[in-house]
Each structure stands twice: as structure tokens, then as C-alpha cells.
Amino acid sequence: MASEEILQKTLKNADGKPFQKYKGLQNNFVLENYEIIFDDIQNDRAGHTAMRVRVPHKKAGFPADMYDTKKREIALRDLIARRFREAARTHARSPIPKTSGGEVYIPRPGQEILERGSIAITQYFVEARFTVDLPADGNKVSAMAMNLLLERIDRIVSESMYFSAYKQSKVYNHLQTYENAEFIRENLKAKGLVAFIADGAVLPRRDDDLAPMIDAVPFSCSDDLKVTFEVPYGEPITGAGIPKGFTVISGNSRSGKSTLIDAIYAGVYDHIPGDGREYVISSPDAAFIISEPNRPADSVDISMFVKETPEFEGTSAAKREFVSSPMSELLSVSEAVEMGSELLLVDEEFSNPCVLRKGFLADDEKITPLSDMGSSMGEQGISMIMISGDESVIRSADTVLIVKDHKLSRTEVERKAADAKFSRPAVRNPVSKGIVYQKGHRDVNVNAQEIRTIEIGEFKVHVPTAAFFDISQTDAAADA
């Protein structure tokens, strides 16, 4: 460890010298209120430097009851990450004038409250992990490095890592919203539910899919759907409970059906206060099923859905480089079940019709549709929520719900018997032998390009239904 005086001396000695002199910062520097740690210093001005700031609890001042349980710790880390990001954008979003570099980066949090790696809380300190662009004059160390490390970062730390920078009520609201949501999630099964949508929830999103749409109609439901949770904080929360089994949601065009199922899928995570979906909660293993024509298949068991066909000779171990639209969707169902999902979400808008119901194609007798399997899947603990307006699908459901004027209600229909029996897919052991991370003798880069796109060398792997709502989740998958 070294002192702030040593840090200043190191920077002064490096001023005007080749950029590589920044390597002399590879150390832990103890300042008056916190410690600065350099983990990986960039080689040139095109790179980034990985850093940490560590604030002892005595200086940070957050009350112990804000992080004395795992849930509270997760929520507090999430809140600090948000404030750190805001402060970085205020004080270090742009390069320092008359030089290059000086920016401070931390991943942008979305609407979800997640266990974020950018902030750590131990029994001794609060720690922020971030990257900076060290200032440069051409290819030389800039005198403005002092401004970045001792002024910009200090302002960011002061506005995000000290309890005195927060309104106490805002911190507790963030923590308690998360704890209430987790309480509901943990009690879904006890009430026979797979999803819950609170009365008054705001489901429609703006075009950026983040904040709630202005002037959106709040969610409501009929009395026969209402379920109440006695949450740990505040008044009891009442809303619509979606029961286990096969549920079909129907309604007129633009009634809000797809918005509802999107919100249910987003409900695998908890949301920040003010999002509108704070208490839209679903089973954490929910999987969204869509048609993905031309995707590959590697030894996936779809024998419960498909008779042996020219496309799949031996459907208990389907393996193809490219598959058709209906087969791709059935593969996704099998893979989701194989990975342990107990809730499948299906929207007819993104599905192949012959996967949902019979009678769409002349040869679709080779496929047992999902609607015929729904009740049988429910008997094995796999629930399904499907958006459909087809009468045969509706009559196959255990529960039929109607969306009208953004209100959800139950309706009774005459059910048809379904003879199809679902069997779970054969268990596989996933391997990475098909993924090549080298080009010749060189390793290729694996990076998160977008929230649901991972770049592996020259190739892009698109995972449109992965439960990724934050770029940091994709980064973690790319690093795995």
C-alpha cells in the first residue's frame, strides 16, 4: 500500500513521459477517506484501466440494517451502482478539456434490481469497480491525471458511496420494494400461482423499453382473479394471480395481451420503485418460447412432439445445422424444460401456427401441438401461459383469461379433451465442443455486443429469448 503523497509524486514524475509510465500506478493508494486500487492499467490511450475504490464502513456510514441480509445487500448494491453511474455521467462523462481521456465508466443499470458486480459490500467496506480512460497528451502522460484521480473520482465517490449523499427514505424504499417483491415470489407456489400482477401496475413501456409509458392505463382485474399478499412492508398488495396449469389469454387487437405477457416475462426480476412493474412477479425460471427458423439443433429430444420425419430421422436426438420454423420452436420448448423451466410463455405473434394448434398445414399431423399438450404438461409441473385467439386453443386451456380495455378477467368455456401425453425430454450434459474460441493460433474475442447478442470472433450469437434485460448480464455470459 502507498499514501496519497506517493500517488501525487508518481503522477508528477510521469507527467509528459511516455504513456507506459502509467504502469507505475499499479498499487493500492490509501487516501483520507478511501482507498484507490489499480487492477489493470491500459497500455495506450485506446485502452481502459480497471480500478476500484474502497470506502470503509466508518466513512461510508450506511446503517448496518441496510445490508445485514442478503436481500438488503443486493438491493443496496444496486442502488449505489445507479448513483455511481449518475455521478460519473455528471462529473466524468466527457474527456478532460485540452486532453484525451478522463472518462469514468460503470455499466448502465436497467430497470431491474440485480446483484451487481460493480458494487461489493463486505463486513469492512463498500467497494466500487469501474473503468477509466487515463488522460493523455498525444502518446504521453497528461498532467490532468491528477484532476481525474483526485478530483473527478472524489466527486463521484462523495455523491454515491456515502450515506450522507442519500435521502434515507429513498434508500429504505428501494430496499423494501425489493424485499416485498421477493416475498411475493417466494410465496407464489404456496398460493398455486405462477405469476402475479398487482392492481395499478403500469405495464406499457416507452420506445426504449425502459421507463413506463406516460398516461398508460393502469392494470386491473376482475374480483375472481384477485389474490392478496401480506407483504413485510406497507399495506397488503392485491392483484391478479395466474394459476398453475395451461392458461390462455385472449382479447381484441391492441387490448394489451402482448404487453401483459412481456411484463410477466420481465417479472423474473424485481424492478426499481417508479418502474410501474414493481409487483409484477413470475416464476424465476420462466422461459419465452418463439419460432427461430434456421437455428441449429444438437441432440435435442423432441420425440414427445414430433413423429419421425425427413427433417428429423430419430427425433429423440435431433441434430441439424438449420431447422424449420416449427421445429425451432419445439426445440426451444424441449430445451427450456430440460433446463428446469416450470413456466413457458408463448405469444402467437412470434410462434408458428402449426406448433400451437392442429389443422393449419396438410401434414401437421406429424406435430402434436402445444395446446394439446398443455394440460398434460401441467400435470408434470410445467405451466404454460399462451396468447391466442384461436377457438381450439382456448378450448384446450385449463384457465381462460380475457383482456379488455386493459382489464383482465376470467371466462368459462367448454373444454375439449386432449389425449396427448407429455413426456420430459431425455437429459443431456451440455458441452462446449462445438464452439471454437481460436482462429489459427490466436484466441478470438468474446464480447457482449447488445443485450441479447454475443460476438464470438467473426460470428454473432443471437439469443432473442434469453432472460437478459441488462447488458451486464450479457457480459457475464460472454465471460463465462
Q: Do residues 332 and 289 touch, judged by C-beta distance below 8 A?
A: yes
- State residue 363's pLDDT score: 53
CB atoms within 10 A of CB 251: 20
- State residue 297's pLDDT score: 80
Collapsing DSSP to helix, strand or coil, 267 comes out as coil
- Please state, in angstroms and rounded to a whole number, the distance separating the CA atoms of residues 135 and 148: 8
- Please state, in angstroms and rounded to a whole number, the distance separating the CA atoms of residues 14 and 134: 12
Lowest mean pLDDT among 250-254, 349-353, 451-455: 451-455
- Please state, in angstroms and rounded to a whole number, the distance separating the CA atoms of residues 260 and 278: 14
Residue 153 Ramachandran class (φ > 0 left, ψ -120 to 50 alpha, else beta): alpha
- State residue 76's pLDDT score: 99
Domains of the chain: 2-166 (no CATH), 243-430 (3.40.50.300), 438-479 (no CATH)
State pTM to two decimals.
0.90
Lowest mean pLDDT among 36-40, 103-107, 171-175, 292-296: 292-296
Share of the chain above pLDDT 70, in %: 91
| Stretch 51-57: mean pLDDT | 98
Amino acid at 97: P
Handedness of CA 279, 281, 284, 287 (dihedral sign): negative
Whether the pLDDT of residue 364 is over 70: the answer is no
- State residue 464's pLDDT score: 75
Whether the pLDDT of residue 60 is over 60: the answer is yes
| Stretch 279-297: mean pLDDT | 92
Collapsing DSSP to helix, strand or coil, 132 comes out as strand
**What confidence category does residue 198 fall into, taking pLDDT thresholds of 50, 70 and 90?**
very high
List the end-to-end C-alpha distance of the chain, in Å, as a whole number: 31
- Please state, in angstroms and rounded to a whole number, the distance separating the CA atoms of residues 183 and 177: 10
Q: Do residues 376 and 422 touch, judged by C-beta distance below 8 A?
A: yes
CB atoms within 10 A of CB 340: 9
- Please state, in angstroms and rounded to a whole number, the distance separating the CA atoms of residues 475 and 480: 9
Lowest mean pLDDT among 74-78, 187-191, 302-306, 330-334: 302-306
Highest mean pLDDT out of 363-367, 422-426, 431-435: 422-426
**What confidence category does residue 468 fall into, taking pLDDT thresholds of 50, 70 and 90?**
confident
- Please state, in angstroms and rounded to a whole number, the distance separating the CA atoms of residues 196 and 3: 53
- State residue 295's pLDDT score: 84
pLDDT in tens, 109-136: 999 999 999 999 999 999 999 999 999 9
Whether the pLDDT of residue 321 is over 70: the answer is yes
Task: Please count the residues of the chain.
Answer: 480
Angle between helices 70-91 and 168-186 (to 10 degrees): 130
pLDDT in tens, 209-239: 788 999 999 999 999 999 999 999 999 999 9
* Mean pLDDT, the chain, integer: 90
Residue 411 CA from chain centroid, whole number:
33
- State residue 434's pLDDT score: 55
Highest mean pLDDT out of 252-256, 346-350, 422-426: 346-350
- State residue 445's pLDDT score: 80
The larger pLDDT score, comparing residue 339 to residue 115, is at 115
